[in-house]
Amino acid sequence: MRYSALTSVLAAGLAIAHPVEQRDVAMDFQPPPGGDITILNYALTLEYLERKFYQEGLQKFSRQDFVSAGFADPFYDNLKVIRSDEETHVSFLAGALAGQAVNEATYSFPYTDVKSFLGLSSVLEGVGVSAYLGAAQAIVDKGYLTAAGSILTVESRHSSYIRAALKQVPFPKAFDTPLDFNQVFSLAAQFITGFDPKDPPLPFKAFPAIALQPSQYPYTAGSSPITFSGAYKKALAAKLITENQKVYAVLFSGLDTYYVETYMTRGNSGDLKIDKIPAGTGSQLPPTGQVYVVLSTADGVNTKVNDANTISGVGIVEVLPPRH
């Protein structure tokens, strides 16, 4: 079995060699143009995506398909409840926005069977949690904030339920991971094939894609290497870095951010690599569960990672705790 998680991962090492920070208020969590209305349409776009994902998946796969794949009743019925929740979220947000709501985009999801459908379900639910969590500090109207928080907690329950069904730790860390608007948009853009031309574009951008070389083994904190396929060559060609400029893998897990300097592998592939995912040190927990990765020119000491110095992302990797 090969392990990759849609796109990628990041980080490695000791806190002394590899800076670790606890995130407080990051510069990329500032309110976007349009304020709360833009944030609600951002949330609605994500809920449209989740609604379509479950509608299509539960139409394609029957109860018997799930049972045959090892997911006995009442699992199928519970997935229908999740679908209903996503439909309700869409109705609620669209109603709150009234005439200012964006329309549903078109989507394409790369699952082929029940297990790949559930793997993607787990990723999408985790991203949903990170999206609402990251957007919360930018919401001005406290009524909207309460509503968003109410949706967030339900998305978190969905995530834990799917993770447990996949025999993953349902709550792998004491804190969930906030992502900013462009980070989430970069993840969602992988599945969006088109927006309604009548809608004004959302003021977010997707980063250049990041590619993680598949691994034959599960990713484990403190040991697993990560290779980013063609990352140096692509960034150089796009003029996002200069010749011999240092590039760092930046890992987000919970409220922790880890920076690890990459190096270029031999040959002409332009691959960048880190030798191991960090294990965590002292009071810092290791990155575990659904971990997010970008490549950046920020080293974590002189410069913190932000959207401006991110050269590719966002990748996702499922990371196991360190071996003892």
Given pLDDT bands bounded at 50, 70 and 90, which one contains residue 281? confident
CA distance readout (Å), 89 to 44, 95, 108, 231: 8, 10, 21, 37
Tokens linked to 206: 């997707």
CA angle 272, 278, 283 (to 5 degrees): 150
What is the pLDDT at residue 8?
35
Please check the confidence at residue 29 and state whether its pLDDT lies above 90: no
CA distance 193 to 179: 22
Q: Please, are residues 179 and 127 in contact by the beta-carbon 8 Å criterion? A: yes
Given pLDDT bands bounded at 50, 70 and 90, which one contains residue 192? very high
Given pLDDT bands bounded at 50, 70 and 90, which one contains residue 5? very low
Mean pLDDT over all residues of the chain?
90
Given pLDDT bands bounded at 50, 70 and 90, which one contains residue 324? low
Please check the confidence at residue 26 and state whether its pLDDT lies above 70: no
CA distance 211 to 271: 10
> For a pLDDT cut of 90, what percent of the chain falls above it?
84
pLDDT by residue (tens digit) across 110-159?
999 999 999 999 999 999 999 999 999 999 999 999 999 999 999 999 99
Average confidence (pLDDT) over 220-225: 94
Please check the confidence at residue 17 and state whether its pLDDT lies above 50: no
Count of positions (residues) in the chain: 324
Tokens linked to 299: 């080293």
Please report the DSSP string for 257-272 in residue order: EEEEE-EEPSSSS--E
Question: What burial class does residue 49 get, using C-beta atoms within 10 Å of its C-beta: 0-12 exposed, 13-18 middle, 19+ buried?
Answer: buried
Tokens linked to 200: 């004004």
CA angle 26, 169, 49 (to 5 degrees): 60
**Is the model's pTM score more than 0.95?**
no
Please check the confidence at residue 16 and state whether its pLDDT lies above 70: no
What is the pLDDT at residue 11?
30
CA distance 139 to 285: 29
Please check the confidence at residue 14 and state whether its pLDDT lies above 50: no
Where would I find the beta strands (DSSP E) of 225-286?
226-228, 248-253, 256-261, 263-264, 272-274
Give the number of C-alpha atoms closer than 13 A to the C-alpha of residue 90, restricted to the C-beta side.
Answer: 21
The least confident of 162-171, 248-257, 282-291, 313-322 is 282-291
CA distance 262 to 271: 10
Q: Please, are residues 9 and 273 in contact by the beta-carbon 8 Å criterion? A: no
Beta bridge partners of 220: 320
**φ/ψ bin of 204: left (φ > 0), alpha (ψ from -120 to 50), beta (otherwise):** beta
